Amino acid sequence: MLWLLAGAALVLACLGLRVLLRRRRILASPGVFRCRLRSSSWGVESLSQRWTRHPTYAMWAHDVLVVYRRFTLSEVLLLECRFAEDLEVAPSTLRRLGPCPLLLRVRLDDGAMVEVAAPRRACSDLVGPYVAAQLHPSERG
Where b means 16+ CB within 10 Å and e means fewer, 95-127 reads eebeeebbbbbbebeeebbbbbbbbeebeebbb
**Residue 98 is part of a domain; what is its CATH number?**
2.30.29.30
Q: How many domains does the chain have?
A: 2
**Residues 106, 50 within the same domain:** yes
pLDDT at 134: 63
Q: Do 111 and 86 have their domain in common?
A: yes
**Which of 6-10, 13-17, 69-73, 116-120 shows the highest mean pLDDT?**
116-120
- State the residue range of the domain holding 18: 1-30
Q: Is the pLDDT of residue 92 over 90?
A: no
pTM of the model: 0.83
Same domain, 56 and 121: yes
